[in-house]
Amino acid sequence: MAPNVCSSDLSSSSQKPLPKDLSDLFVPSMRGPIKSAFKSVMGNPTLAMINMAGGVPHPDTFPILRLQATVRAPNGSDSTGESALVLEKTASSGSTESLNELLQYGDGCGVDSYCRFLLKHTQRTHNPPYSGWGVIAS
């Protein structure tokens, strides 16, 4: 699985202050995750143990072999500037994942390539006044 890109070096690259911790203002149910009874019983699975609770389907079971879409240029023109977006089942380019990766369950932050885009966009466009920020695209 690809590394988590919800937060990045982009968010801590400058000498900006950390965000204020307002967690003491939260109601008790919002202060943090409550550990599930199942996970406390399971503990940390070892490599010798197959975790059947993950529910991750095998990529061969995905019915989609190829996905193609024609998209308009960002300027919104009708007929000029069209581009074809093609996603193959196993082939991945440097900027996007393969269909096997995109159709698989993720980590909750969203698709890695989209999170990387959102991190760069947020840094360039909004330039948060603090460090340690991240994005969630799910």
> What is the rounded CA–CA span in Å between residue 60 and residue 48?
24
**pTM score of the predicted model:** 0.58
Rounded (5°) CA angle 86-78-89: 10
Residue 94's SS3 state is coil
In this structure, the chain runs to a length of 138
Q: What is the pLDDT of residues 68-127, one digit of tens each?
A: 998 887 766 566 678 888 888 887 776 678 888 888 877 778 888 888 889 999 999 999
Q: Which pLDDT score, from 0 to 100, does residue 76 have?
A: 63
Q: What is the pLDDT of residues 5-20, one digit of tens each?
A: 577 565 555 588 888 8
